[in-house]
Amino acid sequence: MRVVELVAILALLMFGPSAIARDIMSSDIYPSNYPTVRATAYMGDLIRERSGGRLILSNLGAGDRDTENYTLGQLRNGTLDMARINLSALNSTVPDTIVLTLPYLFRSTEHERKVLDGPVGEEILASLESTGVIGLCFYDEGAKSTYGTKPIRSPADLRGVKYRIQPSSSWGPMLRAFGAQPVPMPQSRVAAAMRAGVVEAADGNWSSFVAMQHHHVAKNFSLTEHARPPSALLFSRLIWETLSPEDRRIVRTAARDSVAYYRQLWDESEASARRVAEAAGVVTVSDIDYEGFAATLVPFHATAVSDARLKAMIERIKAEAVP
């Protein structure tokens, strides 16, 4: 048991529940001005207000240098309350999460957001509980594209390229299909690795590309827009079970209510980050062979998951109507 929890319990026994405030500690690899961190801060304001100051998000953990896999371990063992984690980091332990990271599955931002807000999104959040975390909400993070030291216009351009992937991601076999060399690596190490030639390419959105300072190293941003894996805001199940039903309701509804605010921030951030990158000399490569990429990647929809339920989930996503 953490010391802070022991002190809280003693105070509760001596003075009653109104005598103490409960601190919530969070984590995010991105800096304090990043949309996910700002949305989490907004969620914290809602929690404090709705709990009458009983619950306080006291530390956002912005710019956390730990890997997301390490942070997941902290959530599972109860040494951290909450964190924003990219869903790809959960691919190896929660098969349901693979579905939302598949290439060319979502047709647009509107399509992805409708799925995340609907029954499929609820099912995937619920599936996380068995691994020791509570899924509170999704923060969609737009389309991932390929950036690096050279332009990538067609599948042939990836042959032999050392390509950084998220540890625990399901993307390794897909990149090998192009003849690329997947290199699992935390995002915080990409810039140095690219300077040293350890990796030649990586993927991300405009916002993360600039926030992690990769635009100073990678001077080509190729708009492959090959996947739209969201992040999830997660809570430690061990800590969750110590909260009262009312406090759980406050935390969960505050997280859900932060999503609309987050999406406004995100849309503004993507446009701004692209301007920053291009002003720094990054070349936007838009003449992409989408059909060539899709011809290799879309067949992975049938092989990336083996469970019949998940295969049916993929078909439900494809069939989702979007205005």
Predicted pLDDT at 254: 98
Residue 216 gets which letter from DSSP?
G
Q: Is the dihedral of CA 30, 31, 36, 37 positive or negative?
A: positive
Predicted pLDDT at 46: 98
For 161, residues 6+ apart whose C-beta sits below 8 A from its C-beta are: 148, 152, 180, 181, 200, 201
Block residue for tokens 């999104």: 121
For 26, residues 6+ apart whose C-beta sits below 8 A from its C-beta are: 40, 57, 59, 60, 61, 80, 81, 82, 83, 84
* Tokens standing for residue 185: 């690596």
Residues of the chain with pLDDT > 70, as a percent, come to 94
* Tokens standing for residue 321: 């109507």
Answer whether 35's CB lies under 8 Å from 69's CB: no
Residues of the chain with pLDDT > 90, as a percent, come to 83
Range with top average pLDDT, 15-29, 166-180, 272-286, 299-313:
272-286
Per the model's pLDDT, the better-predicted residue between 321 and 230 turns out to be 230
How many other β-carbons are positioned within 10 Å of the β-carbon of residue 313?
A: 20
Residue 323 pLDDT exceeds 90: no
How many other β-carbons are positioned within 10 Å of the β-carbon of residue 84?
A: 27
Predicted pLDDT at 14: 46
Query: Among 236, 234, 240, which residue's Cα sits nearest to residue 80?
Result: 236
Give the architecture (CATH level 2) of 3-140+230-264.
3-Layer(aba) Sandwich (3.40)
Predicted pLDDT at 5: 52
For 114, residues 6+ apart whose C-beta sits below 8 A from its C-beta are: 320, 322
CA distance 189 to 284: 23
Answer whether 105's CB lies under 8 Å from 228's CB: yes
**Lowest mean pLDDT, pick from 14-23, 173-182, 290-299:** 14-23
Q: Is the dihedral of CA 305, 308, 311, 313 positive or negative?
A: negative
**pTM for the model:** 0.89
Domain spans in the chain, listed from the N-terminal domain onward: 3-140+230-264, 144-228+273-319
CA distance 5 to 167: 32
Give the pLDDT confidence of 164-179 residue by residue, as tens digits. 998 877 889 999 999 9
Predicted pLDDT at 27: 96
Predicted pLDDT at 137: 98
Give the architecture (CATH level 2) of 144-228+273-319.
3-Layer(aba) Sandwich (3.40)
Residue 4 pLDDT exceeds 70: no
Q: What is the mean pLDDT of residues 127-138?
A: 97
First to last CA, the chain: 51
Give the pLDDT confidence of 24-35 residue by residue, as tens digits. 999 999 999 999
Q: What is the mean pLDDT of residues 136-164?
A: 97
Answer whether 25's CB lies under 8 Å from 83's CB: no
Three-class SS state of 138: strand
Equal CATH topology for 3-140+230-264 and 144-228+273-319: yes
